[in-house]
Amino acid sequence: GAGVSQSPSNKVTEKGKDVELRCDPISGHTALYWYRQRLGQGLEFLIYFQGNSAPDKSGLPSDRFSAERTGESVSTLTIQRTQQEDSAVYLCASRPREGAFGYTFGSGTRLTVV
Amino acid sequence: RKEVEQDPGPFNVPEGATVAFNCTYSNSASQSFFWYRQDCRKEPKLLMSVYSSGNEDGRFTAQLNRASQYISLLIRDSKLSDSATYLCVVNIGYGGATNKLIFGTGTLLAVQP
């Protein structure tokens, strides 16, 4: 597609349940990022994938969070045993290649944990 | 100390005004600098990159002072459509496993008719 696609756009889940968020980057974009934005706050870096290199997981807030990416395609962010503080918009971004700074964001998944 | 700091605002200005936003960053190894714009409940979108020599794009002028670790954005002749949150963004690292954008919390601009 023309842009970064994220699904679902909205997710309401009960505390303690697991959720899986999906990101389809722009075709050919080698780098993919996940960010989190809590209401009224800035973007927090979560994880970065670049080609076949080991991902930079330094932003994942706890071991309940994990992410995978198959090659240079789809990525999934999984949150296990969700907590209310996980409520946020989860944004995915991709960029064409190393050295290119044209990050394109998806419209995000709004996660609400009740 | 936050890696990227901005005045959260809000900046309430009349149409046609000139408004300036400032930003400081703490990591002297930062490589690249940007201003992003985020509309309410939307994803951030790149407004402009910031170069050491300063750069201009229409009504928008960006400046970088590496010695002071300071970035600015000037908007001239403000329009109602400029109302948004402006995010100061720094790229940490270049190449290898670490290459990520660090976002400031943003400055809210409200242009009044």
Q: Chain A residues with CB inside 8 Å of B32's CB?
A: 101
pLDDT above 50 for B17: yes
Contact at 8 Å (CB) between B91 and B27?
no
Contact at 8 Å (CB) between A104 and A94?
yes
CA of B96 vs chain A CAs: smallest distance (Å): 8
Mean predicted confidence (pLDDT) in B34-52: 92
- Total residues belonging to chain A: 114
Q: Chain B residues with CB inside 8 Å of A59's CB?
A: 100
Question: Measured between CB atoms, does B40 come within 8 Å of chain A?
Answer: no
Percent of chain A with pLDDT over 90: 71
CA-based nearest residue in chain A for residue B6: A42
Lowest mean pLDDT among A4-13, A97-106, B33-42: A97-106
CA of B79 vs chain A CAs: smallest distance (Å): 24
Mean predicted confidence (pLDDT) in B54-62: 95
Report residue B102: phi and psi, to 5°: -110, 125
Residue with tokens 């198959």: A70
Q: Give per-residue pLDDT as tens, B62-75.
A: 999 999 999 999 99
**Closest to A114 (Cα-Cα) out of A8, A14, A16, A9:** A14
CA-based nearest residue in chain B for residue A45: B102
Q: Chain A residues with CB inside 8 Å of B42's CB?
A: 107
Mean pLDDT of chain B: 90
Mean pLDDT of chain A: 91
Helix (H, G, I), strand (E, B) or coil at A80: coil
B95 contacts: CB under 8 Å, gap ≥ 6: A98, A99
Q: Give per-residue pLDDT as tens, A5-49.
A: 999 999 999 999 999 999 999 988 888 999 999 988 889 999 999
Neighbours of B112 (CB within 10 A): 11
pLDDT above 50 for B97: no
pLDDT above 60 for A103: yes
CA of B78 vs chain A CAs: smallest distance (Å): 24
Contact at 8 Å (CB) between A96 and A102?
yes
CA-based nearest residue in chain B for residue A41: B105
B43-61 b/e (C-beta count within 10 Å ≥ 16 → b): bbebbbbbeeeeeeeeebb
Predicted confidence band of residue B94 (pLDDT cuts 50, 70, 90): low
Residue B93 sits at the vertex; the CA angle it makes with B74 and B96, to the nearest 5 degrees, is: 145
pLDDT above 60 for A99: no
Tokens encoding A2: 């023309």
